[in-house]
Amino acid sequence: MTAKEFFEFAKKNNASMVDLKFTDLLGTWQHCTFPIDTWDDSTFEEGVGFDGSSIRGWQGIHMSDMLAVPDADTVAVDPFFEKPTVSVVANIVDPVTKEDYSRDPRHVARKGIAYMKSTGIADTCYVGPEPEFFIFDEVRYEQKQNTGFYQIDSVEGAWNTNRIEEPNLGYKPSYKGGYFPVSPSDTYQNLRSEMVFEMQKVGIVVEAHHHEVGTGGQGEIDMQFADLLKMADQFMWFKYIIKNVAWKHGKTVTFMPKPIFEDNGSGMHSHMSLWKAGKPLFAGNGYAGLSEIAIHAIGGVLKHAAAILAFGAPTTNSYRRLVPGFEAPVNLVMSARNRSAAVRIPMYSNNPKAKRFEFRCPDPSANGYLAWTAMLMACIDGIKNKIDPGKALDRDIYEMTAGELADVPHVPGSLSESLEALHNDHKFLTEGGVFTDDLIENWIDYKKEFELDPLSLRPHPFEFQLYYDS
Q: Which residues are catalytic?
A: 51, 130, 132, 212, 220, 269, 339, 358, 360
List Cα–Cα distances, 163 to 138, 158, 159, 172, 214, in angstroms: 15, 10, 8, 11, 19
Select from 410, 440, 406, 414 the least CA-distant residue to 425.
Answer: 440
**Long-range contacts formed by 146-155: CB under 8 A, 24+ apart:** 148/458, 148/459, 148/460, 148/461, 149/461, 152/216, 152/259, 152/260, 154/215, 154/216, 154/217, 155/187, 155/217
Q: Both ends of the chain: CA-CA distance in Å?
A: 67
- Cα–Cα dist 230/368, whole Å: 10
SS3 at position 67: strand
The tally of CA atoms less than 13 A away on the side-chain side of residue 151 is 5
The vertex-307 CA angle with 303 and 312, nearest 5°, equals 110
Select from 165, 459, 419, 409 the least CA-distant residue to 299.
Answer: 409
For the CA atoms of 45, 50, 53, 57, the dihedral, rounded to the nearest 10 degrees, stands at: -50
CB atoms within 10 A of CB 414: 13
